[in-house]
Chain A
Amino acid sequence: MTDAQPAIRVNHVTKSFRVHLERNQTLKEKILYAGRAKYRDFVALRDVSVDIMPGESVGLIGVNGSGKSTLLKLMSRILYPDVGTIEVAGRVSSLLELGAGFHPDFSGRENIFMNGALLGLSRREISYKIGEIIEFSELGDFIDEPVRSYSSGMYMRLAFSVAVAVDPEILLIDEILAVGDAAFQAKCMSRLKELRGQDKTIVIVTHDASAVERFCDKVVWMHNSRVRMEGQPVECIQTYLATVFRAANEGANTMSFDRTGAHPDHTNSSSLADEATGEERVDTDPMDLRWGTGDVVIDRITVTSSMGEGLVKCGDPLDITMHFHVVRSVQDVDFGVGIFSEEGTQCYGTNTRVDRHQTISLEVGTGHVTFRADNFCLLPGTYAIDVACSAADTQAHDYWRKASKVQVFSDRPDVGICRIPHDWELIRDTASIEFARM
């Protein structure tokens, strides 16, 4: 298979949508506003080229509105490109929405036939597979009840069971991995892995980075209507997560129609450098958030990791640096930090005194002190940081609540508050153990 043809070839595709500012769909409006229709073009895809080889599992990632679902819809021929071509070789089954076309008045069994037909299965194929479908759905006696009476979880189970029973060469999936309870999700995942094992070409749009990393051979990252990055899952996802969270910190994730300015290579490298010196905003109501004698004043805080300002990947090193100036000389002070979750839970707090650092006395002047964590192990979320400089009797010289924030992201779906540093050790006593990639 040296020069195999791609299963899907997306060739310089551009697709824009008309966004009607006022919908002129009646005759009156069409005549009245003829020639000055009120719409603007929204470019959902701009010169996108992607090749997907047979048997590849590809994850499409990107923030909302980045064009990934549009790309998937183009691949499944629901939409057509304005410019460029899309060639798809093989029988396609697209699962853009589970249960589209379910009829609430009909029983689960009847809906299997109808939905299967919608997905292009013949009646005979469905009859042949119906036992398997019902078994997979685990709906039991409910299968002969009208779908109207189903819970939403049951509805999804039925829909997914039909969807995966389709035996396509190319499977296009949009955001449907989060189906049902945990046990059923695992089942869905293993069914997808089975399909992957059968050398099916699979394209998945999802926000579940860990699923992509475990499941896909390749990742295509869509950003602002273009392909931003394409390649190894681990690499793509880490860069993606870092960029997305940084943007979230800057409040730059607001969607905008106008993407003409968004160049493909206007990327993190430049903005990273810009931000390293960025100053923190002081909160609007400093009275509640800041108090102290004023003998020592903390001027600004920088929170930095290798990912940039205010952003860290769980498990990476993080520095919190306080720049201060001393107004009057003080004896025996300590510097402290406190880290709080969004709910206000204190996740960690310490100071130089607690940590038995040597006694600090300060003369008039300026300086800075850094809290350096080798392994910042809090799990993903936004955390507020308090900093303080206090005297021995806990009288604050400067206590600054919510002085800064840090955004933590992760490429692993572990749960809890923090990632306890750990290893796994597995020792074979009698059972035979095989190791294989998940």
Chain B
Amino acid sequence: MVSRIAEVWQYRAMLWSLVLSELRTRYRGSFLGFLWTFINPLLMLLVYTFVFSKIMKVVMPHYPTFMFIGLLAWNLFASGVQSSSSVIVRQGSLVKKIYFPREILPLSVVGGSVINYAFSLVILIPFLLVSGFYPTFYWFYIPIILLMETILTVGLALLFASLTVYLRDLEHMLNIFMMLWFYFTPVVYSLSMLPGRMSVIFKFNPVADAVLAFQSVLYYNQSPHWKLFVYGCFVSIVLLLLGWSIFNRLSRRFAEEV
């Protein structure tokens, strides 16, 4: 395992180059180009604000802020896992022709999602300031929460990336599954809105832990609920190890199956 990590590290130039080309090609050819990286979350914010404040009339102070914080965290996870699930097949020509640690491919996808998240902070932070949320010391938790969520995302990305090679349906099933998962994660509502016992289920959801932690730090101006957070870290690491070992086992035949 240590040697695997060392090898991935040795190929960091490739990882970085894949992340960059992914970011650079995503909006290539479009008129606004790279600006879309910022416009996307901004438009998303406008749509959700309109729907939930004007049509659904949610009674929660600064609801758009609350929701936007959770939504960005969710998007990091969802886009990372979903896009990873097809990455081995998409990059089949590389897999068949060149040796490199296969982990690089899903890692590059998740890396792209993390960087996108960082870019969307450029929208989120001014929005927080405008809405009256000023920086506090709790903001120093952000990198740690981000790390925990990244670990979780990488674990599931490795798992689905390797499984999808053998079972192509998974990519499409994942779309529906992710939608369901989204509504089981307190992004558009807060846990306090749920009837008593129900919130317990949510605590087993590791993505919810990450989202809740972001909300605590940015919205409620608190430190994350430490029990939940430790639990989230634990689950993330377990999923990472599980995903990685399955990936390792399955990656031996990638070149034949893509």
Chain A residues within 8 Å of B, Cβ to Cβ:
17-18, 25-28, 30, 73, 76-80, 92, 94, 96-97, 100-101, 103, 105-106, 113-114, 116-123, 126
Contact B25–A101 (Cβ < 8 Å): no
Which chain B residue lies CB-closest to A120? B11
Q: Is the CB of B255 within 8 A of A117?
A: no
Q: Interface digits, B147-171 against A, CB 8 Å rule (1 contact, 0 not)?
A: 0000000000000000000111100
The DSSP consensus for interface residues of chain A is loop
Known: A79-B256, A80-B252, A113-B17. A100 touches B98 (CB 8 A): yes
B13 touches A121 (CB 8 A): yes
Instruction: A26 to B98: give the CA distance in the assembly, Å.
Output: 27
B170 (CB) vs chain A CBs: closest residue: A27
Residues A17 and B167 in contact in the complex (CB < 8 Å), given A94-B98, A97-B97, A118-B94 = no
The chain B residues found within 8 Å of chain A, CB to CB, are: 10-14, 16-17, 21, 25, 28, 93-100, 166-169, 173, 252-253, 255-256
- B169 A118 Cβ-Cβ under 8 A: no
**Inside 8 A of A101's CB, which chain B residues have their CB?**
93-94, 97-98
Q: How far is the CA of A73 from the CA of B253 in the complex (A)?
A: 12
Contact call B96/A78, Cβ cutoff below 8 A: yes
> Top 7 nearest A-B pairs by Cβ distance?
A100-B97, A117-B17, A27-B169, A117-B13, A117-B14, A80-B252, A97-B97
Task: Give the residues in chain B near A26, CB-CB below 8 Å.
Answer: 167-169
Q: Is B98's CB under 8 angstroms from A73's CB?
A: no
- CA of A186 to CA of B14 in the docked complex: distance in angstroms? 31
Distance of B175 from chain A, by nearest CB (Å): 14
> Contact partner of B17 among A27, A30, A114, CB < 8 A?
A114
Tell me the smallest distance from the CB of B99 to a CB of chain A, in Å.
5
B168 touches A100 (CB 8 A): no
Q: Does A27 lie within 8 Å of B97, measured CB to CB? A: no
With A26-B168, A94-B99, A96-B98 known as contacts, the answer to whether A17 contacts B10 (CB < 8 A) is no
Q: How many angstroms from the CA of A28 to the CA of B16 in the assembled complex?
A: 38
Q: Kindly list 13 other residue pairs between chains A and B, CB separation below 8 angstroms, not including A77-B99, A117-B13, A118-B94.
A: A17-B256, A26-B169, A78-B96, A78-B98, A92-B99, A103-B21, A103-B25, A113-B17, A114-B21, A117-B11, A118-B98, A119-B98, A120-B14
Q: Which of A18, A30, A118 contacts B14 (CB under 8 A)?
A: A118
Chief secondary structure at chain B's binding surface: helix
Can you give 17 contacting A-B residue pairs, CB < 8 Å? A26-B169, A27-B169, A28-B169, A77-B99, A78-B96, A78-B97, A78-B99, A79-B256, A100-B97, A100-B98, A101-B98, A105-B28, A118-B17, A120-B10, A120-B11, A123-B13, A123-B16
Residues of B within 8 A of A78 (CB): 95-99, 255
Closest Cβ of chain B: how far from A104's Cβ, in Å?
10
Q: Which residues of B contact A126 (CB under 8 A)?
A: 13
Instruction: Name, among A78, A105, A121, the residue most crowded by chain B CB atoms within 10 Å (CB to CB).
Output: A78
Cα–Cα, bound, A30→B255 (Å): 20
Residues on B with C-beta less than 8 A from A18 are 256
How many Å lie between the Cα of A119 and that of B98 in the bound state? Answer: 8
Residues of B within 8 A of A77 (CB): 99
Query: A105 contacts which chain B residues (CB < 8 A)?
Result: 25, 28
Please, which residues of chain B bring their CB within 8 A of the CB of A114? 17, 21
Complex CA gap A81/B129 in Å reads 59
Alpha-carbon separation in the docked complex, A121 to B12 (Å): 9
Q: Closest CB-CB distance, A209 to chain B, in whole Å? A: 25
In the assembled complex, the CB of B107 is this many whole angstroms from the nearest CB of chain A, namely 14
Interface centre among A25, A114, A118, A126 (most CB of B within 10 A): A118
A76 touches B99 (CB 8 A): yes
Interchain CA distance A101-B95 in the complex, whole Å: 10
B255's contact among A73, A113, A119, A121, by CB below 8 Å, is which?
A73
CA distance A92 to B28 in the complex (A): 34
A27 and B256 contact, CB distance less than 8 A: no
Q: Do A118 and B28 touch (CB < 8 A)?
A: no
Q: Verify B98–A106 contact, CB threshold 8 A.
A: no
User: A30-B167, A118-B14, A123-B13 given as contacts; is B256 within 8 A of A96 (CB)?
Assistant: no
* A80 nearest in chain B by CB position: B252
Measured in the bound complex, the distance between the Cα atoms of B28 and A126 in whole Å is: 25
Contact present for A120 and B100 (CB under 8 Å):
yes
Complex Cα–Cα for A28 and B173 (A): 13
Docked pose: A121 CA to B10 CA in angstroms:
9
User: What distance in Å separates the Cβ of A276 from its nearest Cβ neighbour in chain B?
Assistant: 43
A94: B residues at CB distance < 8 A: 98-99
Shortest CB–CB separation between residue B20 and chain A, in angstroms? 8
A119, closest chain B residue (CB) = B98
- Measured in the bound complex, the distance between the Cα atoms of B13 and A126 in whole Å is 10
A28 to B169, CA, bound (A): 9
Residues of A within 8 A of B14 (CB): 117-118, 120
Residues of A within 8 A of B16 (CB): 117, 123
The smallest beta-carbon distance between B95 and chain A, in angstroms, is 8
Chain B residues with Cβ under 8 A from A103's Cβ? 21, 25
Give the residues in chain B near A117, CB-CB below 8 Å: 11, 13-14, 16-17
Chain B residues near A123 (CB-CB < 8 A): 13, 16
- In the complex, what residues of A have CB within 8 A of residue B99's CB? 76-78, 92, 94
B167 contacts across to A, CB distance below 8 A: 25-27, 30
CA distance A114 to B25 in the complex (A): 13
